[in-house]
Chain A
Amino acid sequence: MKSNVTVTLDIKMQAWAIPSPGMDLDGLVQKMKDIGNQVLEVDRAGNRVLIGKVE
């Protein structure tokens, strides 16, 4: 008997930016704009900004 088994490996990435101790979240959002990073989501409760591309 011959049988084929296919396993598809799908890989995805997220990138959350966390401000340094000397910067607040609004400052980080502005910083992202200044340096050209796309802000996809602002998580105020988590004190972080999603800048990675979610696919």
Chain B
Amino acid sequence: MAAIVVTRGKLRIGQQASESTNYNAARNIQVMSVDDSSVAFDAADTALNTGGAVSNEFDAAFDATPTEAAPAVITHVMTVPTGSGNFTIRRIALHDDVAGTVSTSSTTLVAGIDGQSLTKTSDFAIVFTLTITYA
């Protein structure tokens, strides 16, 4: 399993914080996705399908504004409702664009965790909490 903030994600974090040349007020980290790809994330990945085609994917905006905890932890929460994401969830990722734009091929990947295996059915929803510690 890899838990990784990809290189373009690190750049986006820096751009947004420093408002550098390619800063874009609309490109904050705002969406979480789940998919069924068995491919491990790599630092050079820019989209969910960089390492190979993705068969099933679901994404949505965070449930609420991400929260902060000391010393430097930011928590992101997204719910996969009963009727969505009903496949084997193997990867969870964060993206820097709106849900309507995020797809398996969108250049929006910021960070991800791979190597999971959670079978999702319509009998339940899953609330994913993904934290990034900046330390």
Contact = CB atoms under 8 A, between A and B. Distances in A.
B128 A9 contact: no
A9 B133 contact: yes
A45 interface: no
A17 B124 contact: yes
A6 to B, nearest CB: 10
A37 B129 contact: no
Contacts, number: 86
Interface in B95-124: 111-113, 116, 118-119, 121-124
B41 to A, nearest CB: 10
Most buried by B among A14, A28, A48, A52: A52
Given A11-B3, A37-B118, 9 more contacts: A9-B10, A9-B111, A11-B113, A11-B131, A11-B133, A12-B113, A16-B127, A16-B129, A18-B126
